[in-house]
């Protein structure tokens, strides 16, 4: 079975997505997600100009060979654009293989290791009362694990905390949403002021309040968005120990793997990192030295199912689990792939789940199902995605960016 054609679909139903559609000479269609938030058109061009011309006529079943051909053949190793493009091809080929086999994809990855994938939702609020409303809404919907982010006294806005304006960018049900939309549509990125000392003073009191109100059972998570130095991160981890977090995420800038060693020496709060990583090499020391507890790389940004499964097999040797990135900028195609792999992985930990807008669901037609705090893929062959291309074409790309953080003196800061 040969690849007959590959087409790149760029659509923006509330936010931008890049999807690769591969069609075989037998007429089987597979989809892969290559969305890179704020840099979408770079992946679209990489695919259209440099990858699609190489795919025509290749064996659609030769997934590993195609992965190696695109990775090694590029000469230039790794990088988010390359790895998102390879991810799109790899995922689409797995979708095709499963459709040809007549099986849901997770069956080809080893079959189900659990009934469903535990997910965490995003609760946030400008202040503690608003945060409590958001936590209650998540509990009512059945979430058993919740990420907690709040505004910080003295700061006008904090990334990761929904304001009604930011939430509405996600489209659809703006006033019902307590999560946030990572990118904002605009010609330039928004700029926000950041103050680490104010943040470090405030966060432990928020977790104390949440545990006091909602008890010990819910799994609580927190994302520090790479903003801290190792010693600040160590201090935060220690100060949160009484509140028994499921994980503390991205405490220091991810590119400095050494930093995690310092954090690890000071705190028993579990650590998660890697949503900005795109290959197994980024985890070489973190995993072998057991400096983290959860791997955050999603299928969409780290070379697809083939390579994320490799990372997770390596992690399994050290009891490290998956915690794949799943914001709204990972499309329903990427989330479907994550849920199939997550269902099969022995060392699955948790899956991030920010619910996509109604418009996004209408375009992508995902068939995974949320119930009892977890996601489960449907039993249909392949990934379980049904893209309405006519509808997709009605949502043209719109420029959108993640915000930039500046310290009070104007210096650009990690966000």
* Active site amino acids: 159, 225
d(CA 67, CA 106): 19
Q: Which stretch binds ligand KDG (CB under 6 A): 19-27, 206-214, 229-237, 324-332?
A: 324-332
Among ligand KDG, Mg ion, none, what binds residue 181 when CB lies within 5 to 8 Å by partner kind?
none
Among residues 275, 282, 293, 359, the one that binds ligand KDG under rule CB under 6 A: 275
Among ligand KDG, Mg ion, none, what binds residue 352 when CB lies within 5 to 8 Å by partner kind?
ligand KDG
The tally of CA atoms less than 13 A away on the side-chain side of residue 241 is: 10
Write out the residues near Mg ion by the rule CB under 5 A. Answer: 223, 275
Pair of tokens at residue 68:
């190696």
Q: Does 327 bind ligand KDG (CB under 6 A)?
A: yes
**Strands 404-407 and 412-413, bridge-based pairing:** antiparallel
Beta bridge partners of 2: 59
Contact 167, 126 (CB under 8 A): no
Q: Which stretch binds ligand KDG (CB under 6 A): 44-52, 201-209, 299-307, 323-331?
A: 323-331
Among residues 228, 329, 344, 348, the one that binds ligand KDG under rule CB under 6 A: 329
Could you give the string, one character per residue 347-366, with x where binding to ligand KDG holds by CB under 6 A and - elsewhere? -----x--------------
Contact 383, 337 (CB under 8 A): yes
Instruction: Compute how many residues bind ligand KDG; rule: CB under 6 A.
Output: 10
Among residues 16, 19, 24, 37, the one that binds ligand KDG under rule CB under 6 A: 37
**Torsion of the alpha carbons at 297, 300, 304 and 310, rounded to the nearest 10:** 0
Please, what is the minimum distance in Å from the beta carbon of residue 225 to ligand KDG?
A: 6
Nearest CA among 387, 406, 384 for reference residue 103: 384
- Rounded to a whole number of angstroms, the CA Rg of the chain reads 20
Contact 300, 83 (CB under 8 A): no
Q: Cβ-count burial of 164 within 10 angstroms (0-12 exposed, 13-18 middle, 19+ buried)? A: exposed
**Torsion of the alpha carbons at 234, 235, 241 and 244, rounded to the nearest 10:** -70
Could you give the string, one character per residue 61-100, with x where binding to ligand KDG holds by CB under 6 A and - elsewhere? ----------------------------------------
Among ligand KDG, Mg ion, none, what binds residue 252 when CB lies within 5 to 8 Å by partner kind?
none
Q: Which is nearer to ligand KDG, 60 or 271 (CB)?
A: 271
The site for ligand KDG (CB under 6 A) is made up of 37, 182, 223, 225, 275, 325, 327, 329, 352, 402
């Amino acid at each position: 079975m040969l690849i007959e054609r590959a087409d790149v679909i760029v659509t923006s139903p509330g936010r931008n997505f890049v999807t690769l559609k591969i069609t075989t000479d037998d007429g089987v269609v597979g989809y892969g997600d290559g969305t890179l938030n704020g840099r979408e058109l770079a992946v679209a061009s990489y695919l259209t100009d440099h990858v699609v011309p190489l795919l025509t006529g290749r064996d659609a079943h030769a997934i590993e060979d195609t992965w190696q051909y695109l990775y090694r053949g590029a000469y230039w190793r790794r990088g988010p654009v390359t790895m998102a493009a390879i991810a799109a091809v790899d995922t689409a080929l797995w979708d095709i293989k499963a459709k040809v086999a007549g099986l849901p994809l997770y069956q080809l990855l080893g079959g189900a290791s659990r009934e469903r994938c535990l997910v965490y939702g995003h609760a946030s609020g400008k202040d503690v009362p608003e945060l409590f409303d958001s936590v209650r809404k998540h509990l009512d919907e059945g979430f058993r694990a919740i990420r907690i982010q709040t505004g910080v006294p003295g700061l006008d806005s904090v990334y990761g905390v929904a304001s009604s304006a930011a939430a509405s960018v996600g489209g659809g049900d703006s006033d019902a949403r307590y999560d946030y939309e990572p990118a904002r549509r605009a010609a330039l990125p928004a700029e926000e002021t950041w103050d680490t000392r104010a943040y470090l003073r405030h966060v432990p009191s928020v977790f104390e309040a949440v545990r006091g109100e909602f008890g010990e059972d819910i799994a609580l998570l927190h994302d520090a968005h790479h903003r801290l130095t190792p010693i600040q991160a160590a201090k935060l981890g220690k100060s949160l120990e009484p509140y028994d977090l499921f994980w503390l995420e991205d405490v220091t800038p991810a590119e400095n793997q050494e930093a995690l060693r310092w954090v690890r020496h000071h705190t028993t709060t579990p650590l998660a990192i890697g949503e900005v990583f795109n290959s197994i090499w980024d985890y070489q020391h973190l995993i072998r030295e057991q400096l983290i507890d959860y791997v955050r790389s999603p299928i969409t940004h780290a070379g697809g199912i083939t390579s994320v499964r490799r990372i997770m097999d390596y992690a399994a040797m050290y009891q490290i689990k998956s915690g794949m990135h799943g914001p709204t900028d990972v499309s329903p195609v990427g989330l479907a792939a994550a849920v199939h792999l997550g269902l099969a992985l022995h060392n699955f930990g948790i899956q991030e789940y920010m619910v996509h807008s109604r418009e996004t669901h209408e375009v992508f037609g995902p068939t995974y199902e949320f119930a009892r705090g977890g996601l489960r893929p449907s039993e249909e062959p392949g990934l379980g995605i049904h893209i309405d291309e006519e509808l997709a074409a009605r949502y043209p790309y719109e420029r959108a960016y993640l915000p930039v953080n500046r310290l009070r003196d104007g210096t650009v800061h990690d966000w």
